[in-house]
Amino acid sequence: MLNALNQLPDVQQAVTVLRKGGLVAVPTETVYGLGADARNPEAVARIFSAKGRPADHPLIVHLADASQLSEWARDIPPAAWRLAEAFWPGPLTLVLPRAPGVLDAVTGGLDTVALRVPDHPLALALLAAFAGGVAAPSANRYGRVSPTSAAHVREELGDCVDLVLDGGPCSVGIESTIVDVSSTTVRILRPGAITERAVHRLLGMPLATDSMAGVRCPGRKPSHYAPRARVVLASHAQVEQTVERWLTCGCRVGVLASRRPPTLPENVVWLHLTGDVREQARRLYQRLRDADQLGLQVLVAVLPPDVGLGHALRDRLRRAAGLGDGGAERDLPEIAMGVDA
Ligand code: TXA
Ligand code: MG
């Protein structure tokens, strides 16, 4: 286990960077974030230019603990406090009406702000020492796969970041669950490791999951979390047939699945997503990166069952495949012949 005390000099340096308006890559339990002082508009602007992200897309503000909530949000309902108490520190982001003074650059001009207390010793040490909010989107270029190790951040954003705090591989591996508690209907905007069921059980009230009507929410764009390889979804039963069709097009093809299809041709790589669903979540983004490193043009991916964390994995894979909300097997697309160069 990582010992945050061993890294205190790094944390001090990171605080200095943040105070000067610089960018720090911060490990969290979900994915690495690209952090800046959330009260400093120039620093926040640097996040957008480093990522190549459109300026009107809102960021999550990371806090050391829930006691800071009222500095950032107003009209905080009991449901928000209950969620914070139950799941923070942890992979949960709360969307709340924003407090006066929260920068437009952070909220993308919305009247709400997204807030989260991450569960990682280095992130918590940094947030406590900084004693302020750290605005941090995932530390990847806009529209690409989120980083789950310090090496991923260095590869992709190394030149733009002043300091990378190396907290090891992320223990959850996919982005936080986002819950909108800014209106009377509590709504899950992005599935994650805190499941809809867990939120429902805690609050005992009906939830909406129809997500994003009218809200600019880049993580909800179908094209998000995408590797360069084209991701095509298939059931276990369809894998070989799907692979054949893409091989006929002359493509370099790989398969992402929990088990090796029995009759996979030798020139097709099996990127294994084995283990239980937690393990699969931890590995998913590494596997999408592997697909690119292997120069695959097509990645045939099998969706895990739609239970628990499997729901969030399916969401990310569907988006990597350029599909939107939904998830029923019957939605699997007819395979398109013809490939992006
Ligand atoms: O696990 C995570 O949440 C990671 C780590 C670094 O904390 N962060 C992350 O940030 O995934 P990002 O920027 O890649 O995704 C944040 C999502 C986006 O989809 C954004 O639209 C949404 O949060 N969001 C931020 N503020 C919002 C708001 N006020 N209302 C609705 N959605 C919001
Ligand atoms: Mg992101």
Whole-angstrom CA distances from 113 to 192, 193, 291 are 19, 21, 35
- Establish if 139 belongs to a structural domain: yes
- Establish if 332 belongs to a structural domain: no
Q: Which of the ligands is closest to the CA of residue 224?
A: 2
Residue to probe by mutation, ligand 1, list 31, 60, 285, most atoms within 8 Å of CB: 60
What was the pLDDT predicted at 339?
A: 27
Check pocket membership of 121 for ligand 1, CB cut-off 6 A: no
263 and 192 share one domain: no
Q: Average pLDDT for consecutive 10-residue bins of the chain (341 residues)?
A: 65 98 98 98 97 92 98 98 98 98 97 98 97 97 95 94 97 98 95 97 88 51 76 95 95 96 94 96 97 97 96 96 59 33 23
- Establish if 105 belongs to a structural domain: yes
177 and 257 share one domain: no
For 39-49, letters b (16+ CB in 10 Å) and e give bbeebbebbbe
The number of domains in the chain is: 2
- Establish if 124 belongs to a structural domain: yes
160 and 57 share one domain: yes
Q: Which of the ligands is closest to the CA of residue 177?
A: 1
15 and 70 share one domain: yes
DSSP track, 307-341: STTHHHHHHHHHHHTT--S---GGGPPPPPPS---
- Using a 10 angstrom Cβ sphere, with 0-12 exposed, 13-18 middle and 19 or more buried, the burial of residue 162 is middle
Check pocket membership of 186 for ligand 1, CB cut-off 6 A: no
258 and 195 share one domain: no
Domain boundary among 165, 187, 203: 203
List the residue whose alpha carbon is closest to atom 22 of ligand 1: 217
**What distance in angstroms lies between residue 177's CA and the mean position of ligand 1's atoms?**
9
190 and 234 share one domain: no
Could you tell me which of 58, 64, 199, 201 has the C-alpha nearest to residue 125? Answer: 64
177 and 108 share one domain: yes
- Domain interval for residue 237: 230-326
Residue to probe by mutation, ligand 1, list 172, 217, 224, most atoms within 8 Å of CB: 217
- Establish if 120 belongs to a structural domain: yes
Q: What is the CATH number of the domain that holds 119?
A: 3.90.870.10
- Establish if 27 belongs to a structural domain: yes
234 and 199 share one domain: no
Rounded distance, CA 243 to CA 86, Å? 44
Domain boundary among 203, 222, 248: 203
What was the pLDDT predicted at 2?
A: 54
Six-digit token string for 287 = 């596997």
SS3 of 85, please?
helix
175 and 285 share one domain: no
**What distance in angstroms lies between residue 290's CA and the mean position of ligand 1's atoms?**
25
What was the pLDDT predicted at 4?
A: 56
- Establish if 300 belongs to a structural domain: yes
Whole-angstrom CA distances from 85 to 29, 30, 93 are 18, 19, 13
Rounded distance, CA 313 to CA 168, Å? 21
For 98-135, letters b (16+ CB in 10 Å) and e give beeebbebbbbebebbbbbbbbbbbbbbbbeebebbbb
Check pocket membership of 138 for ligand 1, CB cut-off 6 A: yes
Check pocket membership of 136 for ligand 1, CB cut-off 6 A: yes
Check pocket membership of 194 for ligand 1, CB cut-off 6 A: no
Strands 177-180, 163-164: pairing kind: unpaired
Check pocket membership of 93 for ligand 1, CB cut-off 6 A: yes
Rounded distance, CA 75 to CA 89, Å? 21
Looking at this protein, which amino acid is placed at residue 113? V
Question: How long, in residues, is the chain?
Answer: 341
18 and 124 share one domain: yes
List the residue whose alpha carbon is closest to atom 18 of ligand 1: 219
What was the pLDDT predicted at 259?
A: 93
Domain boundary among 157, 186, 203: 203
Rounded distance, CA 102 to CA 109, Å? 10
**What distance in angstroms lies between residue 259's CA and the mean position of ligand 2's atoms?**
28
- Please state the atom number of ligand 1 nearest to the C-alpha of residue 114: 26
82 and 18 share one domain: yes
116 and 260 share one domain: no
- Establish if 219 belongs to a structural domain: no
**C-alpha torsion angle, residues 11, 14, 19, 24 (rounded to 10):** -140
**C-alpha torsion angle, residues 203, 206, 209, 215 (rounded to 10):** -80
DSSP track, 241-258: HHHHHHHHTT--EEEEES
Q: Which of the ligands is closest to the CA of residue 97?
A: 1
pTM, two decimals, is 0.92
- Please state the atom number of ligand 1 nearest to the C-alpha of residue 60: 25
What was the pLDDT predicted at 217?
A: 55
**What distance in angstroms lies between residue 33's CA and the mean position of ligand 1's atoms?**
10
What was the pLDDT predicted at 331?
A: 37
List the residue whose alpha carbon is closest to atom 13 of ligand 1: 137
Q: What is the CATH number of the domain that holds 242?
A: 3.40.50.11030
